[in-house]
Structure 1
Amino acid sequence: MELEQKLAEQSDSAATTTTTATTNATANQQVEQVAARRQAKSSALAARVERLEEDVQAAQNDPIRIGGAVRMQYKWEDYNDPLKDRGGDFEFDLVRIDYSGEIGDVVLSAQYRWFQYMDTVQHAWVGYNFSEQWQGQLGVTKVPFGITPYNSNSYFFSSNFYVGLEDDHDLGAKLLYRSSDWDFDVAFFKGDEMGGVNGLSPSKADRYAYDALGVRLAGEGLYDDPTALVAESNSVALRAARKYDLAADKSVEIGASWQFGDMNNGTDNIGERQAWAVHGVYNINRWTLMGQVTQYDYDMELAEQGIVVGAYAYYDTIPSKATLYSANLAYSLPVQWGPVTDLTFYNDFSLMTNKRFYTEDTVMNVLGVAVSAGGLYTYFDLVTARNQPFVGGSMSGDSKQTNTRFNVNIGYYF
């Protein structure tokens, strides 16, 4: 019995030893597998991080850049007796913030503005560079029309701006082509930048650029809020410009623009609009000469006395059809007067004539100089005008009197 018991104990001990050895081997194998998996995951993560760093470095682009401006202005008006009596006014103009940047071929640009009486988006779009010549833009983007970027040199633009045909921005898509010889733009705009008749803005006139907002009915005043609302819808815009380099200091641009679209009251299309322009720009040495002829036409189903437009928190009335002429001359003079590095002298002339339902022309002449001094850019403008907004008149006014405004706009840009 003792021998059998000893043999049994030896057998149990051997079995225990074998089991322990097997367990230890299994545990070691599991530890090795976990370590291998961790190493594989770490290697994959490191590879992904390295690839991302390489992509960012290969893009060679700056991050989103933030800029902007702060502007003040002094004004004196001969048609405003209280203002004349106190020697003019010096007032806050605006604060604006700009966003721009690109990662790879994706581009971003946006600008928002705050005035004393309103705030609004100026533009906001995302783009893609298909090649060195082709770019697409989607969002609130500039309508391609006439001389770009501006058909003017002064703070007051040309009269085209006040009928929505200069520096206008709408909501849609645009394709641009740029080369040394040609500029081509084709664009489709679903509506204006504030959402049209069904937009949620508390005031349709709180916007940067002029748009059609209603039909002016008989018996309404030129500055009344519109009762028959209407807005641009499903518009197409085309622009082409041929550029010639005649010499190292001499160049010419000749171009044409056309746009067409519906006028919608929120439910139905109740009219159409179209506009065309031909323009030319001639540069020689420090001189620049710009000229443009523009015509627009609103064909409405309602009996109308003009089109209600709005911007800068107030409404105005424009003729439903008119022809505009503009001619601008500028001379740029480099100087070294302390911080002042450039003086640009200019004279901008605008005429709107052949007005439907209105007989008196709109005339505006701006004689001025722009002073560049580091981040400061200042306009000194002497404006002489008749039936011109911001100079005591309306685009549909019937005044024969000429008004004068002296304006100094001081802006710090960063």
Structure 2
Amino acid sequence: MNASTRACALALGIAAALAAPCAAASGTSGQGKTAKSDQQKKADMAARIEIMQKQIDMLQKQLDDMRAQQTASQQQSSDTRKKLDTLAKDNKKTKAKVAKVEKKQKNGITVGGAMRFQYSYEDYNKNNVHRTGDADFDIFRLNFRGRVDDIELQAEWRWFQYMSAVKYAWLGYDFSKNQQLQVGLTRIPFGNQPYNSHNYFFSSNYYLGLEDTYHMGVEYVYSGDPWNVQLAFFKNDGMGGIDGYVSNRSNSYSYNVVGVRSPGEGIYADPQHPAASINTAAARVAYTFKPNDDLKIELGASGLHGGLEGPSSSIGNYSAYALHMNADYKRLNVQAQASRYDYNVDGGADRLAVGAYAFYDTIAAKADSYTFNVKYHQPVQWGPVHGLDFYNDYSLITNKSGQLPSTFMNILGVGVSAGDLYTYFDFVTARNQPFIGGSMAGDGKVEHRFNINFGFYF
């Protein structure tokens, strides 16, 4: 019963008490009865007044109790509101602390890396055949990745027995969930990514500077669904360009143009006429189709254009274009790419010097490139082995300038995953292919190499 209801009940009680004497008086004055004396009437009246007073006192007490309960209820409600306000403030402070902790947890740079070794049997190397192959240390590398406030950092430093090299090093800023700006030594957006291959040796495009190649510049990346757009501008290669502060421009992970080959100059000779790329604009656009849950197809186009710089002036320009496809059907992956590159050098040179992995090589100034790769992933449970990647990657470089012979490379292999250990087993058949007994500018015979490269990744 609320306060207003109780007040009404009290008023009704008082009214009933006042009406009781009148009802009693009328009840004793019927016909045929003898009237009471005045003294008796006074006594009766006094008794009734006393009864009425007791009833009024009782009703007053009830009213006072109701008022006290109402006051207590109001006080309790006020205390409750104060407690709720305090809880709300505490909750707001707690959320702010949680957000601060989460932001702090996101900050920081993590360090990972890999250590790799390999065994190779090379039929083009008589001494290697005599020794039944050679085992070598491959690389030790460190990877740095993380975020400090709103800036992302990614970098990789590689150590070989014969050199050390920075593969990439860039800072990124996210404009939104799908948009990022990268500044530094970042990947040229060209062709299938991140790799146009599945094996340890990449595709032949890598040795032309058209796969997993990094230059110094700025790159915008939109990685939405279904579109992927990358736009970039590179001031020069990762070695600082024509006059970079490096002791040897061939100490590079990426294949860079480092000179123009004159007639009669050796394929592996130090370049007599230094050159370098400059002011390169690049774009890559891809669209992903998903007809069903099992099938995903990315179709894309890439292009780049830049200048060529000599020691004191511009000496020409270069460009490259590609159409590419990367499709996944359940555990099957298929890659295909057609490319064309063209170095237009003042004076019409047919060959260019490139540098990487601590040695110089030679490529045609112009050529067409085709690649076709297939991979199938098979999960297994063989002790620590949990996955097998069966693949065959094929590359063809043809229509070379200077009537240079074509290059082809076919790699049949399997990749074995065992915990943090990944091992490539590659059987390579190639002609005029670097690291398989030849050069992009050579005229050799078909060679073979069996290679096992195993690495621990941490």
How does 1:36-185 map onto structure 2 within 5 Å? 55=100, 57-58=102-103, 60-185=105-230
Amino acid at match of 2:175: F
Do 2:188 and 2:214's aligned partners in 1 also have CA atoms closer than 8 Å? yes
2:343 alignment counterpart: 298
Amino acid at match of 2:134: D
| Paired residues, number | 364
Q: Say whether residues 1:409 and 2:446 are aligned partners.
A: no
Tell me by how many angstroms 1:57 deviates.
3.7
Which of the pair is proportionally richer in helix? Answer: 2
1:250 corresponds to which of 295, 299, 310: 295
Tell me by how many angstroms 1:55 deviates.
4.2
Tell me by how many angstroms 1:134 deviates.
0.3
Q: Quick one: distance in 2 between partners of 1:410 and 1:364?
A: 21
Tell me by how many angstroms 1:56 deviates.
5.4
Q: Quick one: distance in 1 between partners of 2:248 and 2:332?
A: 42
Q: Quick one: distance in 1 between partners of 2:98 and 2:323?
A: 49
Do 2:215 and 2:236's aligned partners in 1 also have CA atoms closer than 8 Å? yes
Q: Say whether residues 1:264 and 2:309 are aligned partners.
A: yes
What whole-Å deviation, never above 9, does each CA across 1:209-232 have from its counterpart, x for those lacking one?
Answer: 101000000110111110100001
1:29 alignment counterpart: none
What secondary structure sits across from 2:448 in the alignment? strand
Q: Quick one: distance in 1 between partners of 2:245 and 2:103?
A: 42
Moved more, 136-145 or 258-267: 258-267
Amino acid at match of 2:242: V
Q: What is the percentage of aligned positions where both structures have the same residue? A: 47
Tell me by how many angstroms 1:359 deviates.
3.6
Tell me by how many angstroms 1:53 deviates.
9.5
Tell me by how many angstroms 1:58 deviates.
3.3
Q: Quick one: distance in 2 between partners of 1:379 and 1:373?
A: 12
What secondary structure sits across from 1:58 in the alignment? helix
What secondary structure sits across from 2:386 in the alignment? strand
2:408 alignment counterpart: 363
Q: Quick one: distance in 1 between partners of 2:329 and 2:357?
A: 36
1:331 alignment counterpart: 376
Specify whether residues 59 and 186 from structure 1 end up closer, same or farther in structure 2 by C-alpha distance, changes over 3 A only. Answer: farther
Specify whether residues 340 and 382 from structure 1 end up closer, same or farther in structure 2 by C-alpha distance, changes over 3 A only. Answer: same
Q: Say whether residues 1:313 and 2:342 are aligned partners.
A: no
Tell me by how many angstroms 1:102 deviates.
1.1
1:28 alignment counterpart: none
Amino acid at match of 1:117: Y
Do 2:107 and 2:149's aligned partners in 1 also have CA atoms closer than 8 Å? no
What secondary structure sits across from 2:218 in the alignment? strand
Q: Quick one: distance in 1 between partners of 2:248 and 2:149?
A: 39
Runs of 5+ consecutive residues of structure 1 not aligned to the other structure: 1-50
Do 1:79 and 1:404's aligned partners in 2 also have CA atoms closer than 8 Å? yes
What secondary structure sits across from 2:106 in the alignment? coil
Moved more, 63-72 or 298-307: 298-307
What secondary structure sits across from 2:103 in the alignment? helix
CA RMSD of aligned residues (A): 1.5
Do 2:350 and 2:366's aligned partners in 1 also have CA atoms closer than 8 Å? no
Q: Quick one: distance in 2 between partners of 1:219 and 1:56?
A: 66
What whole-Å deviation, never above 9, does each CA across 1:101-155 have from its counterpart, x for those lacking one?
Answer: 0134310000000001000100000000110010000000000000000000000
How does 1:352-391 map onto structure 2 within 5 Å? 352-391=397-436
1:19 alignment counterpart: none
Tell me by how many angstroms 1:358 deviates.
2.7
Do 1:204 and 1:213's aligned partners in 2 also have CA atoms closer than 8 Å? yes
Q: Quick one: distance in 1 between partners of 2:380 and 2:102?
A: 40
Tell me by how many angstroms 1:54 deviates.
6.1
What whole-Å deviation, never above 9, does each CA across 1:336-372 have from its counterpart, x for those lacking one?
Answer: 1111111000000000000000341101000000001
Tell me by how many angstroms 1:282 deviates.
1.5
Q: Quick one: distance in 1 between partners of 2:322 and 2:343?
A: 15
Amino acid at match of 1:194: M
1:40 alignment counterpart: none
Structure with higher Rg: it is: 2
Specify whether residues 123 and 271 from structure 1 end up closer, same or farther in structure 2 by C-alpha distance, changes over 3 A only. Answer: same
What secondary structure sits across from 2:206 in the alignment? helix
Tell me by how many angstroms 1:290 deviates.
0.4
Specify whether residues 52 and 358 from structure 1 end up closer, same or farther in structure 2 by C-alpha distance, changes over 3 A only. Answer: farther
Amino acid at match of 1:167: D
Do 1:213 and 1:308's aligned partners in 2 also have CA atoms closer than 8 Å? yes
